[in-house]
Amino acid sequence: MATIEDKAKQLLEQARNADNGRQAKLLAKDGPLRQSVIAMRAGEVLAEHNSPPAASVFLLKGRVKVSAQEDATIEEGELEILTHYRHSVEALEDSVFLLTTVTSVPGAESHSEQRD
């Protein structure tokens, strides 16, 4: 079985060669839980989008900036809960992260504004 580090290395190589500068692989899907590894070439941006009801990022390699109402830089080895605001993600370096999301919760849609 390949390790997450092996998958990260493979996806980053694919992202470096991809026209859009990124590559993703869904690793786990269990009900509303999703875990994906996403690789992005330095300078690439995931355009602004809504947050799911719950999400976190664990940065395996590199450094990314999450832009929302306040910008946050996530460094290699850090685990960060994602904002509940619309946000974008920019790779400040060639980067790979594990994205964990909960895609549906009864009564909770994706977030465009922070919950009270």
CATH of the domain at 57: 2.60.120.10
Q: What is the mean pLDDT of residues 32-56?
A: 94
Q: Of 29, 83, 31, which is closest to residue 57 (Cα–Cα)?
A: 83
In a domain, 55, yes or no: yes
Residue 88 lies in a domain: yes
Residue 114 lies in a domain: no
Task: Look up the domain containing 65 and give its range.
Answer: 4-102
Model pLDDT, residue 110: 53
109 in any annotated domain: no
Per-residue model confidence (pLDDT) at position 116: 37
In a domain, 82, yes or no: yes
Residue 86 lies in a domain: yes
| Arithmetic mean of pLDDT, 80-92 | 89
Cα–Cα dist 57/26, whole Å: 14
| Domain count within the chain | 1
Torsion angle (degrees, nearest 10) of CA 43, 29, 71, 16: -10
Rounded mean pLDDT of 60-89? 91
Residue 17 placed within a domain? yes
pLDDT of residue 2: 74
What confidence score (pLDDT) does residue 114 get? Answer: 43
Contact 101, 49 (CB under 8 A): no
